[in-house]
Chains A and B, each alone.
Chain A
Amino acid sequence: MSQDTVSERMEQRVIFGLQVLSVSMIWVFCLGICAWVIHLLLLSHQLHDVPSASVGISIVAIPVFITGASVLTYVFIGLQRGGVAPNAGGEKREDS
């Protein structure tokens, strides 16, 4: 195996690792937002504040963030699975 092929594979692995890390960061962001909203809900409960608006906002906000992160994860996994393995014959759409 030539030196170039080894370094290319190494580079591919590092890039893949970074891609996984970036998708994980989206989840960290989303879960962070969810944790923050839940913290504010608990705080309003502790302070006997009016909870209705808080509950309404969190019911809307949390699913939006989770849907966004899920779509991104779905695309990432879908693209990894739907790709053609190196040296394998594969159909390629003309406009891509």
Chain B
Amino acid sequence: MNERVQLEVPATSLDDSHDEDELLRAVEEHGVGFKVTFTLLGMVILFCWAIFGRQLLRGLGVTGLNQPVSWGFYIVNFVFFIGISHAGTLISAILRLTQAEWRRPITRMAEIITVVVLAIGGLHPVLDLGRPDRMLNIFTSGRLQSPLLWDVCSISAYFMASTVYLFLPMIPDIALLRDRGARPHWFYAFLSWGWQGTPRQHAVLERAIAILMILVIPIAISVHTVISYIFAMTLQPGWHSTIFGPYFVVGAIFSGIAALMVVMIVLRRVFHLERFLKPIHFDHLAKLLLVMSLLWFYFTFCEYITAFFGNEPSEMRVFFYKFSGGFAPYFWGMVACNFLIPVVLLAFRRFRTIPGILFASIAVVIGMWLERLNIVIPSLANPRLPYPTGFYVPSLVEWAIFIGAFASFILGYAIFSRFFPLISVWEIKEGKKHSLAATSERVRGYLPDPLPQKVIGGESS
């Protein structure tokens, strides 16, 4: 007899009457906290833009950029933020595609990171131009042969696909807010696109999400590969590497997962989402982060051992500049933050607690920023041509933009949480109603098929 394993689920966990209220509370009952956050962050951002005004008036001379180090914080932050953007759409798409059921409370938070961070990161090359009006030259006389233009294309495509991928799964929740009378009513009615939750509408939405999640994965991979080409297509020592594409993609996913976990832990605390974001979610993501940490170390090792073994003089100048020269603190800091700390904290169950995961994730975010710094500056400071070693110290304007970028990220997230639920309400409901049956059906599919009656009869006879 083929016995079916019945999954025991406590009745209370299937009761979703409170879930909706809890998840929509931040939208419907926003208090003084949002206004205070908005005002403070708005002031910080305005102050930073005011400082940036100096650059608009006086040009790039007010930054620490000069020859030979002509790329600094702006490009470091550009690469860093675009890397973080891989948290969202890519991870969300992979989890959806693999039908990982634990994805449900995570995906939207991840997708928001992508959209907010892409907007911030994409702005940095414009700041690096010195005069933003020069951006128009790209439209009139850009060269598509240049990897910089490939970047413009791939980041625009990723931004568009990520925005659509964030918006579509939000439609049922926006309609829910519309039906519950959330204000402004016209805003939710406009964005809900006439959603009434009919089976036909569900079918349309699910098909569209399925198309997008497949489309988004190659685009996301292409984005960071193309960013690596900005460096790898030059003949600069330390940049001209064949593994830069996958190395950048691995680093991007690595930093993305870490940023996602920091955001999740903070929002869990701020919005009291402990019932939805459970330790098991962090445990799964922490294991993923650990794997990415090992993978990152492997790529870093491959990158440097090849340069060291080749012993090419200009490569070795960059190599020793990082290992024992002026950039040694940043290089070894990067190794500690990206490898030692996460491996120690995440490999042992004793340390894999939420505070431990938060500490490891913050370390990885800092470490990945240091990695971008280590890629951009040392190669420019030690060019192939016989120049003396370059020198770069970021100026006040660059620090201001750096702080402003982080403040913009927090503000973007705060504004989103004011208008939309941070966890997908309909996906949680759907999970409660259908996932248990779907998962048990899938597990049964993995198990060996029952023997045909004839064989059983033959054996018994």
B residues 167-209 with Cβ under 8 Å of A? 168, 171-172, 175-176, 186, 189-190, 193-205, 208
Contact A96 B426 (CB under 8 A): yes
Contact A49 B143 (CB under 8 A): yes
Residues of B within 8 A of A40 (CB): 142-144, 149
Q: Which of A58, A74, A91 contacts B198 (CB 8 A)?
A: A91
Tell me the count of chain A residues lying within 8 A, CB to CB, of chain B: 45
Residues of A within 8 A of B215 (CB): 64, 67-68, 71
Contact A57 B153 (CB under 8 A): yes
Q: How far is the CA of A55 from the CA of B198 in the complex (A)?
A: 44
Q: How far is the CA of A84 from the CA of B198 in the complex (A)?
A: 7
Of B155-163, B333-341, B352-360, B381-389, the one touching chain A: B155-163
Asked whether B433 is an interface residue with its Cβ less than 8 Å from the other chain, the reply is: yes
Closest to B154 in A: A61
Closest to A74 in B: B208
Asked whether A4 is an interface residue with its Cβ less than 8 Å from the other chain, the reply is: no
Closest to B157 in A: A64
Q: Which of B150, B171, B186, B197 contacts A92 (CB 8 A)?
A: B197
Contact B208 A93 (CB under 8 A): no
The distance from the CB of B440 to the nearest CB of chain A, in whole angstroms, is 18
Residues of A within 8 A of B243 (CB): none
Residues of B within 8 A of A44 (CB): 143-145
Asked whether A28 is an interface residue with its Cβ less than 8 Å from the other chain, the reply is: no
In the complex, per-residue mask of B21-40: 1 if CB is within 8 Å of any chain A CB, else 0: 00000000000000000000
B residues 314-346 with Cβ under 8 Å of A? none
What is the predominant secondary structure among interface residues of chain A facing chain B? helix
Contact B190 A15 (CB under 8 A): yes
Q: How far is the CA of A40 from the CA of B205 in the complex (A)?
A: 36
Asked whether B400 is an interface residue with its Cβ less than 8 Å from the other chain, the reply is: no
The distance from the CB of B154 to the nearest CB of chain A, in whole angstroms, is 8
Asked whether B211 is an interface residue with its Cβ less than 8 Å from the other chain, the reply is: yes
Q: How far is the CA of A58 from the CA of B156 in the complex (A)?
A: 13
Q: When A64-B219, A95-B433 are in contact, do A90 and B156 touch as well, CB less than 8 Å?
A: no
Contact A93 B197 (CB under 8 A): yes
The distance from the CB of A28 to the nearest CB of chain B, in whole angstroms, is 13
Q: When A19-B190, A68-B157, A78-B201 are in contact, do A92 and B433 touch as well, CB less than 8 Å?
A: no
Residues of B within 8 A of A74 (CB): 204, 208
Contact B430 A95 (CB under 8 A): yes
Asked whether B139 is an interface residue with its Cβ less than 8 Å from the other chain, the reply is: yes
Asked whether B212 is an interface residue with its Cβ less than 8 Å from the other chain, the reply is: yes
6 contacts between A and B (CB under 8 A): A16-B194, A36-B139, A37-B144, A41-B144, A49-B145, A93-B202
Where the two chains meet, the residues of A that have a C-beta atom closer than 8 Å to any C-beta of B are 11-12, 15-16, 18-19, 29, 33, 36-37, 40-41, 43-44, 49-50, 53-54, 57-58, 60-61, 64-65, 67-68, 71-72, 74-76, 78-84, 90-96
